[in-house]
Structure 1
Amino acid sequence: MNMSPTNLNISNYLSTPLSMSGVASGINWQSLISEEMSAAEKPLNSLQSQLAQITNEQTMLETQFKPMVENFRESLLTLELPSTFLGTTASLSSTTNLSAVTTADAITGSYQIKVDNLATFTTLNPTGTVGGSVSPSATLSTLNIRTPITGGYFTVNGVQIQINPSTESLNNVISSINTSNAGVTASYSASTDTLVLTGNSNALINIGSPGDTSNFLSATYLTGAPETLNSNNDTIVSSQTHLGAVSTSFSLSSLGINSGNIIINGTSISVDSNETLGTFISNINSSNANVTAWYDPSADKVYLKSNIGGPVSMTAVEANTSSPTNVLSVFGWSGATQTAGQNAQVEVSQNGGTTWTTYTSPTNRVKNAINGAILNLYSQTSTPVTMTVSQDTQTAVNAVQNFVNSFNNIVNWINTQYNQQPQSSTTSGSSTTSGSSTQGALYQNQMLQNVLSTMKSTVYQMVSGISSYNSFPSVGITTGATSGWYQTMIGTLSFNSAQLTQALQTNPQQVYEMFANNPTGLNGTPSIGTGIVENLDKTLYQYTQFNGIIDQYASNQGYLGSQMINLNSQIYQMAQTLKQQQLLYISQYTAMEEAIGGLSGQSSMISSAFSSTSSSI
């Protein structure tokens, strides 16, 4: 049975229509029955009002109060971390060459730092290009090149050269250039796989025109190529990339690569001849080989770089030499040389530069030079950089201020709800509690009072085993006489950040233990009592945990839930009783009406008889 206050109106149960007009008696029986039922419904209305109040109380406790306490508990975590109170901070005289991050283990003081060199990574240098040299005698349309050549014309020194890729070869185009009046001599360099234009009589070479209809100049990498002088002081323009260069959209099969596997640094990498060069490179980079591969379009080479800094070596071999993929030969990795990386190197002085100690690291993130500090290197230094390590008090100040704000917010909310009386409405001269509003749902609520008392008593405690900073007032968190009588009454806190800062500068360990010591914890101090925040956290957990104090009282399976079930049952039974009572009234008044109607009929008959007798006399 699940009946909410909104659907437990008496009209839902007393649904029998009242249509007694009182024809015989002249009495409005419907009005009389309604008045009698209205009086009989008052106990039911009272039960419905109680159910509405309990429902509102449950809603406020389960959907507002409990989540609020849970969120407050979560905010306490920051105050339970050693890094909040024992941390350090580093400042640098220059952040151009390096940055630094320090922990609680860092020793305060001044350090001089020199960055001698950054870490570099071993690189494999391919012996050749991915694409092969073109055949100058092959038809242009059949060349396996990065950009297919289109038909039309291109311009050299103002002269238009017409080409047809379907019928002409590179040699044909070279001949067309040389027999034109462009004033240049074109040639193909087999050693570099490039097209070379040489200016006749040391003339300048103007390449291309906005009106060109063929992409020949860009497809052969002459567009934008610089003019240089050869040994004869002739002006020349050469292809910036070799003509057979490919692109990452080429399939591996078009490059002569077969399906199979290669092994890089002991990691097997699958090769699918149907995938593109770009996809294969991505697969290498996402593997566990600890390398980065990339394609250089200008050089038409695939390079390989170790992800581990320092002088490490890389290995790349075919998984099956009897059925190779040809990746190593196509990429020029077979027999390729490796440029070894070097470790990063820094020098550190703790005595103003009198003596220096050298440290190395395989990465530019140096962790072994200064205890409790990580140096991130960006570039070599020309002069030493001064790093000053000091205690970080601001993190603790911010955390405590946030705690005080959160504490006061929940205390104020509790006080408001605890003292807010229910909204009342006046009906027929009597004051009744409205069930449609949650205002006052937690008025004088014992659960709120218990939580507030717990919070207040916990923050007032002193931590045993600590001599100086053993309470909140000792670090600037106060209530009572210092903060004012009103704060003492409602339980809010005040915070003096300067006092906390001084305490942290004097004895940060004691401050941390006062807040967060857990005598039985891994890093706790057994001889010192439980920290205030640690104790508050554990105590509030008893309220917010699943089936904790709040759930045992407010959940559907708790005290309020059982009360609601009981009230629902009473309401249902009472409504059924009222329905039977209403039907009884209707039956009784119907019988009375019928009796009166019968008497009225007899009276009419007697009157009629007397009238007939008188007439006959």
Structure 2
Amino acid sequence: MGINSMQLLTQMMGGIDTNSIIQQLDYINRQAIYQPGGLNDQLSKIQQQQTDWRNVNNSALTLQNLLQTLASSTTFGSFTATPADTTILSASAGTGAAPGTYTINVTGIGSNATLTSGGRIGQLISGTDSVTATKFSAAITTGNFAVTKGGQTQYIAVNSTDTIQDVLNRISSAFGGTVSGTVNGSGQIVITTTDNQQMTFGSAGDTSNFAHVLGLDVAQQSGSGPYTYTTTAQGQVQLGQAVGSAAANFGTAVTSTTTGDFKINNIDITYDTTKDSLSVILNRINTSNAGVTASYDPINDKVILTSKSSQPVTVQDVTGNLMHALQLDTASGAVSTAGSNWTFSVNGTLMTSVSSAVTNVIPGVTVNLLKTGQTTLTISSNTSQAVTAVQNFVSQFNSLYNMIGNLIGKDGDLQGDATLASFQANIRDAVTGPITQTMDNSGNTVPLPNYPQNSLMGIGISTGAIGSPVGTTNSLTVDTNKLTAALQQNPAMVRDLITGMALKLNQVLTNMTGMVNTLNGSSVNVSQLTGISTSQDQLYQNMIKDLQDQIQQVNDMADQQKQLLIAQFTAMNEAISQSHMQGNALLGFLGH
């Protein structure tokens, strides 16, 4: 029965507030849930504590991940290369570079070897070619273009149905037969006059680009009257078309194959004539390890392979004939230009290099020779990267440490939690205590060498100055000046100390998070390893479920009791109503 029914019941009961009675009794039945310290309060408290533990675990995971950066050889083995004169050379230093200042004298700038197509690789034009053919440097547009002869300008029409010869004949007709034009066997347009009047082709107002695309606007004039105008050879390979298609316009047809391949400097490169365009293949060469840069010369319609060194470029067709079609093989008359070596000295020792990039002189350093001249190159430890990594670690450590302190301290959600208190003490000891082991470059745990320092305090990482007031040394601090000085003087010691600390701290964090961090770039979560936080989370989960079950039981019993009360009051009301009816009937019988 709803609230309206209970109100009706109240009215029927002659003014007795049954609704209020039922509500008060219902509240008493649910008091275990809502009273201060009851089941609801207990549930909220446990849920908050579970959230607090999860926050601690997440913060510990973040700190654990930062340990990989700290243990990385690149963090503390990074170097900078600084040339005094950046116009003579540039340089970069990697892990394991040899610190010092080097005098480098560049005495000769070499050159890269090249291999160039022996001739034009596209099919040459002929007079019978349509103006819409796909063999030009650009698509020819229809419209008109200007031709001027002896001060007289005629506008020559170009239609989509025209051949090249049709347009040349139209020029001849426009000037009364004093001009003739043909396409010779070398793919050149040749226009001659029969008089002493000079000619120009094209203007800014042209609506067709015929004169520009076919090179008439820059045709070479010869003779002193009559005159001859000759363009460069026309007809180009089409870079964007599949190399096996007719639309690619190769002078030598490319053998159709879906598994073509060739070698450049003995590096194998594959292609599919039905899909790959010349543009795609040139890019594939450039991204390979062939040691060349491939480019296309649109003026001369040739491919050029430029070596990244002075060593000659070698090519070979393995399957298919693409290198032959590009005229890059010996049989096609490819032009090979020899390169020359770079010459220089380092601290007075004369050396040569086949490339401008010198990698085998100063350990761990690449030097790029730019021009002749002498300068110095200083290789020094990159302290800023290491200092930043340490500062990031310290910041996250303090965040975790102080979070735990607030939770287990007075009025904290987890006040007096012995497990967290122990964890807090353990991570502090791992960071501030003596270090006896470290990790080599292969990831193996080895004894710490006999360094002047065996703790982080000696390199500027501590909980504050000795003698600091109680309560002021709860956080780690970094003396960046001291840390930088240690990195400059002995980077290996700093790296080993911090890696040794990371080994200790990582074990403590693993016990908490369950994540096994190898500190060599791979972190894995081992399902068999259950961290403290996982066990604690499951414990809270069980407690939460138990409280939720208790709340449900109380509510179920209260609901049943409420329905019982409503039924009882309803029955009482019906009895009272029946009694009234009987009384009224008796009074009527007695004549009242």
Q: Confirm or deny a common fold (TM above 0.5).
A: yes
1:29: Cα distance to partner? 1.7
Cα RMSD (Å): 4.1
1:400 and 2:390 are equivalent in the alignment: yes
Taking a change above 3 Å as real, the CA distance of residues 89 and 55 of structure 1, as seen in their structure-2 partners, is same
Give the distance between the partners of 1:468 and 1:59, measured in 2 at CA.
44
CA distance in 2, matches of 1:27, 1:18: 11
What SS does the corresponding residue of 1:21 show, helix, strand or coil?
A: helix
Whether the 8 Å CA contact 2:168–2:181 is kept in 1: the answer is: no
Q: Which residue of 2 aligns with 1:245?
A: 236
- Structure 1 residues 283 and 388, CA, compared in 2 at 3 Å: closer, same or farther? closer
Matches within 5 A, 1:24-423: 24-45=13-34, 46-62=38-54, 64-116=55-107, 122-136=113-127, 138=128, 141=131, 145-146=135-136, 147-148=139-140, 150=142, 152-157=144-149, 158-160=152-154, 162=156, 166=161, 170=165, 173=168, 176-177=171-172, 180=175, 190=184, 192-196=186-190, 205-223=199-217, 225=218, 238-239=230-231, 241-249=232-240, 252-254=245-247, 255=249, 256-260=253-257, 262-265=260-263, 267=268, 269-272=270-273, 276-279=277-280, 281=282, 293-305=294-306, 309-317=309-317, 319=319, 328-329=324-325, 331=327, 333=329, 334-339=331-336, 342=339, 345-350=342-347, 355-361=348-354, 363-377=355-369, 379=370, 381-418=371-408, 421=411
After TM superposition, give the deviation of residue 564 of structure 1 in Å: 1.3
Percent sequence identity is: 25
Query: Does the 8 Å CA contact 2:10/2:17 hold for their aligned counterparts?
Result: yes
Name 2:431's counterpart in structure 1: 459
Aligned-pair CA distance for 1:606: 5.8
Distance 1:373 1:402, change over 3 A: same
Q: 1:579 to 1:386 in 2, by over 3 A?
A: same
Amino acid in the other structure paired with 1:297: P
Change (3 A) 1:245 1:494: closer
Which residue in 2 is equivalent to 1:524? Answer: none
1:407-456 per-position Cα deviation (integer Å, ceiling 9, x unaligned)? 223333334444585xxxxxxxxxxxxxxxxxx75565555434433332
Cα 1:185/1:130, change in 2 over 3 Å: same
Q: TM-score, normalised by structure 1?
A: 0.75
156-165 or 392-401: which moved more?
Answer: 156-165
Partner Cα separation in structure 2 for residue 488 and residue 152 of structure 1: 88
Gaps of 5+ in 2: 437-447, 516-529
Cα deviation, residue 340, structure 1: 5.2
**Aligned partners of 1:274, 1:399: CA distance in 2, in Å?**
49
How many Å separate the matches in 1 of 2:482 and 2:90? Answer: 31
CA distance in structure 1 between the partners assigned to 2:571 and 2:157 by the alignment: 116
Q: Is the 8 A contact 1:154 1:214 kept in 2?
A: no
Per-residue CA distance 1:131-176 (angstroms, 9 max, x = gap): 344334x365486641447464522244215356656763982794
Equivalent AA in structure 2 for residue 477 of structure 1: I
- Give the Cα–Cα distance (whole angstroms) in 1 for the partners of residues 21 and 586 of structure 2: 32
83 and 271 in structure 1: CA distance in 2 versus 1, 3 angstrom threshold: closer
Q: Establish whether residue 564 from structure 1 lines up as the match of residue 561 from structure 2.
A: no
**Maintained 8 Å contact 1:110/1:389:** yes
Aligned counterparts of 2:33 and 2:413: Cα–Cα separation in 1: 20
Q: Matches of 2:490 and 2:323 in 1, distance apart?
A: 64
Q: Which residue of 1 aligns with 2:494?
A: 511
Q: Is the partner of 1:388 in helix, strand or coil?
A: strand
Tell me the CA shift for residue 114 of structure 1.
Answer: 3.3
Stretches of structure 1 that go unaligned for 5 or more consecutive residues are 1-10, 422-439, 517-530
How far apart are 1:553 and its partner, in Å? 0.4
**Which of 461, 469, 474 is matched with 1:485 structurally?**
469
Q: 1:59 to 1:15 in 2, by over 3 A?
A: farther
For the 8 Å contact 2:30–2:558, the answer to whether it is kept is yes
The equivalent of 1:5 in structure 2 is none
Q: Distance in 1 between matches of 2:61 and 2:112?
A: 49
Question: Tell me, what secondary structure is at the counterpart of 1:135?
Answer: coil
**Alignment partner of 1:472 is 2:456:** yes
**1:259 Cα shift?**
1.1
Change (3 A) 1:472 1:280: closer
Residue 549 of structure 1 deviates from its aligned partner by 0.9
Matched, 1:552 2:535: yes
Contact 1:111 1:387 in 2 (8 A): yes
Indicate how the Cα distance of structure 1 residues 385 and 238 shifts in structure 2: closer, same or farther if over 3 A, else same.
farther
CA shift in 2, pair 1:400/1:31, >3 Å: same
Letter in 2 for 1:247: Q
Please say if residues 258 and 273 of structure 1, whose CA atoms lie closer than 8 Å, have aligned partners that are also in contact.
no
| 1:574 equivalent in alignment to 2:554 | yes
Any conservation in 2 of the 1:106–1:371 contact (CA below 8 Å)?
yes
Normalising by structure 2, report the TM-score.
0.78
Aligned-residue offset at 1:366 = 2.3
Q: What displacement does 1:200 show? A: 8.9
Q: Matches of 2:133 and 2:566 in 1, distance apart?
A: 104
SS state at 2:508 partner: helix
Q: Structure 1 CA distance, aligned partners of 2:285 and 2:87?
A: 34
Whole-Å separation in 2 of the counterparts to 1:60 and 1:16: 45
The Cα of 1:497 is off from its aligned counterpart by 1.4
CA shift in 2, pair 1:144/1:542, >3 Å: closer
Supply the distance in 1 between the matched residues of 2:25 and 2:374 (Cα, whole angstroms): 99
SS of the equivalent of 1:579 reads: helix
Q: Take 2:88 and 2:501, find their aligned partners in 1: how far apart are those partners?
A: 44
Distance verdict in 2 for CA 1:484–1:596, change over 3 Å: farther
From the superposition, tell whether residues 572 and 190 of structure 1 become closer, same or farther in structure 2 (CA, over 3 Å).
same
- Amino acid of the residue matched to residue 424 of structure 2? L
Match for residue 532 of structure 1?
A: 501
Alignment-derived partner of residue 442 in structure 2: none
Q: Secondary structure at 2:75's aligned position in 1?
A: helix
* DSSP 3-state at the match of 1:586: helix
Residue 21 of structure 1, CA deviation: 1.5
SS at match of 2:10: coil
Residues 263 and 124 (structure 1), Cα distance of their counterparts in 2 relative to 1, 3 Å cut: farther
Confirm or deny: 8 A CA contact 1:174 1:187 kept in the other structure: yes
Distance in 2 of aligned mates of 1:443 and 1:39: 33
Q: Tell me, yes or no, if the aligned pair for 1:161 and 1:177 is still in contact at 8 Å.
A: no
Aligned length: 546
**Range moving further from structure 2, 23-32 or 162-171:** 162-171
Alpha-carbon distance, 1:69 to partner:
1.9
Q: 1:314 Cα shift?
A: 1.8
Secondary structure of 1:369's match? Answer: coil
The amino acid of 1:360's aligned partner reads: S
Point out the more displaced range, 20-29 or 71-80. Answer: 20-29
**Counterpart residue identity of residue 10, structure 2:** S
Residue 4 of structure 1 aligns with which residue? none
